[in-house]
Amino acid sequence: MEKREPFFWLTISCGGIILAFIVLPLFDMMTTPSLSMLKETLNDRDVVRSIWLSMYTAAAAALISFVLGTPLAYLLARTHFRGKRWVESIIDLPIVIPHPVVGIAILSVAGKNHWLGQVLSDLGVQIMGSVTGIITVLTFVGLPFYINTVKAGFEGISPRLEKVSRSLGASMSRTVFRIAFPLTRRSMTIGLIMCMARAISEFGAVVIVAYHPMIAPVMIYERFESYGLKYSQPVAVWLVMVCLCLFLLLRILTLRKAREA
Amino acid sequence: MIRVENLNLRLLDFRLKDIHLTVEENEFFALMGPTGAGKTVLLEAIAGLIPVRSGRVWVDNSDVTGLPPEKRGVGIVYQDHALFPHQTVLQNILYGLHFQREPKSESERRRDRLIDLLRLSHLLNRFPTHLSGGEKQRVALARALMAGPKVLLLDEPLSALDPNFREEVRDSLKDLHHSSDTTFLMVTHDFADALFLAQRAALIHEGRIEQSGETMELFRRPNSLFAAEFVGMKNIFPATFHGTTARVGELAIEMGTAPKGSMRYLSVRPEDVVISREPTSRNGATIFQGEIKRVVDHGFYLSVSIKTGGLVFQSVMPKNAFLDADPKNWTAVYVQVRPSTLHAF
């Protein structure tokens, strides 16, 4: 039998530890609540409402990221300008900033003491304690995931395809819609899923901006604080199920792309 | 027709400097130069894909300098084909029609002619990933010509192809040029391609046009040391000129006519250096006795270095030129150079 090098056993050991680290707590949490408890939780209208709220606010954040982020991702992938690195760093900021800080930062500009908050208030837009506030926060934290994924997608397309399209009579906008967008469709889908998954899992920033209406992570926190682990687990299980479905979709798409490549 | 006047542009660290170039109507023109010389940049500037800093670009007597690429009537075909991977061959070919207003019958006639000329009828429903290099390049040509450009720019269209496809696409290019009223400007590294396809050519070096003229003239009569080395003049010697005689080292070489102006170098192509075992001079050729120093076997031909009068001449000859004789075994030989093949610059 072939003798394995020590490095092989090191990779196996590290891999095993990491997998156990991820799977064990999740598996334990998923299997602890009984089926009757899970069913009962699903009959709780507040739970369903919070999961639904999580879903659609995350979807709204992904949609906003798609509309605003796609042109920016294209610009960053196709142009070189002074300060581009700065712009890219700014886009990555929501990833590195502690989540409660994001909530405080958004509140500080959305409050009535700030001119922007005043303008929003005059327009009838309320951020604090509203669905709009939740969507704002989720967009803030999800945008970098969408933009970075789609930017990488645009960078993967040879600029020559677009140059040829222009030489064949297509304007820049027609070229983008006929060539760049169709070829980035998969990256956009993956970006949307990444953005949405990230948004669904957000807690720290939302809890500051909008404790109510309650999204699922806030409800899990509230149940844990008020009733303990046992009552928070079933809600967590349902939320994890939703997240798993999203990531499963992401993996299927990514694997299919790798196979095609 | 393409006319480039005093064109200057800057792209990161690279600059095109004072480019003047004229390609006549319906002409096939070759642009040659080493890697990084600015050939592709110049093509893209003509196509409007790179903004120019100063200068003008004219296409068919219209100043297109300020026009976007889609309004210039300039098609471009890249070395890597740049076919749209999400579209079939037919969709690729017809892409340009989405943005044109012309009678359907007219475009259908052109489509059928191009598909026929480029032998694409069996490929129309395939996607680019399922095509060979030669097929891809033929599709790229059909797509560019389908849009009816006044000018077609070809960026090394043959260099990514293997030898069999290369000849096939080269023939297709010649046919296309003959059968269309489009002006072709082709970037190439390959001398054979330039000689086969182009009536005239220009040599570009470090962002400047070094020389332009008849293609054969460029190979026979380079006007600078760079041009001479680039076009494969293997025999370039510093020389002094006295009337019709060039003095190179210990040799006095008869040139037939006295060179005009002050020249510094004498050159002769290796194909024009004839080796013989007998001192028989033909066509007034100067003849020297020499000694073979090195023979390199290139498969179908030999390159031979002959030392004479303190100089080393390079010659090439077909491998079977001497039938049963092997030049590797020769020591004393005669080198002949005809006056008409000598070039001073």
Collect all residues of chain A within an 8 Å Cβ-Cβ radius of residue B88: none
Residue in B with minimal Cα distance to A171: B70
Distance between CA atoms of B345 and B339, rounded to whole angstroms? 15
Q: What is the pLDDT of residue A243?
A: 79
Name the least confident of A72-76, A139-143, B117-121, B158-162.
Answer: B158-162
Say whether residue A171 is in contact with chain B using an 8 A CB cutoff: yes
| DSSP three-state, residue A66 | helix
Q: Do B49 and A163 touch (CB under 8 A)?
A: yes
Which position has the higher pLDDT, A261 or A127? A127
For chain A, what is the mean pLDDT? Answer: 92
Structural class in CATH, domain B2-223: alpha beta
User: What is the percent of chain A with per-residue pLDDT over 70, rounded to a whole number?
Assistant: 97
Task: Residue A166: list chain B partners with CB under 8 A.
Answer: 47-49, 68-70
Question: What pLDDT shows up at residue A242?
Answer: 81
Q: Cα–chain-centroid distance for residue B327?
A: 32
Among B76, B86, B99, the residue with its CB nearest the CB of A169 is B99
Beta-carbon separation of A168 and B99 below 8 A: yes
What Rg, from alpha-carbon coordinates, does chain B have?
24
**Angle B47-B50-B56 (CA atoms, 0-180°, nearest 5)?**
65
Instruction: Specify the pLDDT at position B143.
Output: 97
- Model confidence at A261: pLDDT above 60: no
The residues on B that touch A, with CB distances below 8 Å, are: 44, 47-49, 68-70, 72, 74-76, 78, 80, 82, 84-86, 95-96, 98-100, 143-144, 147, 149
Per the CB < 8 A criterion, the answer to whether A107 and A212 are in contact is no
Q: Do B95 and A182 touch (CB under 8 A)?
A: no
What is the pTM for the complete model shown? Answer: 0.85
Kindly report, residue by residue over A100-138, the tens digit of the pLDDT: 999 999 999 998 889 999 999 999 999 999 999 999 999
Q: Which fold has domain B233-344?
A: OB fold (Dihydrolipoamide Acetyltransferase, E2P) (2.40.50)
Interface contact flag, B76 A183, Cβ < 8 Å: no
Beta-strand pair B311-318/B274-276: unpaired
Q: Is the pLDDT of residue A257 over 70?
A: no
Contacts of B48 in chain A (CB under 8 A): 166
Nearest to B86 among A163, A167, A182 (CB): A182
Report phi then psi at A111, rounded to 5. Answer: -75, 165
How much is the pLDDT for A147? 98
Q: Collapsing DSSP states into helix, strand and coil, what is residue B101?
A: coil
The alpha-carbon gap from B267 to the nearest alpha carbon of chain A, in Å, equals 41
- In CATH terms, the fold of domain A44-260 is MetI-like fold (1.10.3720)
Q: Where are the domains of chain A?
A: 44-260
CB contact under 8 A, B100 and A169: yes
**Would you give the end-to-end CA distance of chain B in angstroms?**
31
Q: What is the mean pLDDT of residues A28-51?
A: 92
Q: Distance between CA B199 and CA B259 in Å, rounded?
A: 26
Does the beta carbon of A84 lie under 8 angstroms from any beta carbon of chain B? no
ipTM of the complex: 0.87
Token pair for B188: 């190439």
Is residue A1's pLDDT more than 80?
no
Q: Which of B75, B84, B98 sits opposite A167 (nearest CB)?
A: B75
Distance from CA of A30 to the nearest CA of B (A): 42
Residue A168 at interface with chain B, using a CB cutoff of 8 Å: yes
Residue B16 vs residues A189, A227, B22, B65, B201: alpha-carbon distances, Å: 41, 74, 16, 15, 18
Q: Whats the size of chain B, residue-wise?
A: 345
Residues of chain B in contact with residue A158, where contact means CB-CB under 8 angstroms, are 80, 82
Closest residue of A to B46, CA-based? Answer: A167
Closest C-alpha among A94, A73, A62 to residue A249: A62
In order along its 345 residues, chain B shows pLDDT tens digits of: 999 999 999 988 899 999 999 999 999 999 999 999 999 999 999 999 999 999 999 999 999 999 999 999 999 999 999 999 999 999 999 999 999 988 999 999 999 999 998 999 999 999 999 999 889 999 999 999 999 999 999 999 988 788 877 888 899 899 999 988 899 999 998 888 999 999 999 999 999 999 999 999 999 999 999 999 999 999 999 999 988 899 988 888 888 888 888 888 999 999 999 888 888 766 778 888 898 888 888 888 889 999 988 889 999 988 776 655 676 677 778 888 999 899 999
Q: Do B46 and B40 contact (CB within 8 A), yes or no?
A: no
- Considering only residues A258 and A249, tell me which one the structure prediction assigns the higher pLDDT: A249
Residue of A nearest to B84 (CA): A161
- Summarised one tens digit per residue, pLDDT across range A146-163 is 999 999 999 999 999 999
Distances from the Cα of B41 to the Cα of A164, B10, B52, B207, angstroms: 14, 10, 10, 9
- When CB atoms are compared, the residue of A160, A170, A178 closest to B78 is A160
Instruction: Say yes or no: A116 contacts chain B, CB-CB below 8 A.
Output: no
Q: Domain residues of chain B, as ranges?
A: 2-223, 233-344
What separation in angstroms does the CA of A2 have from each of A5, A200? 9, 47
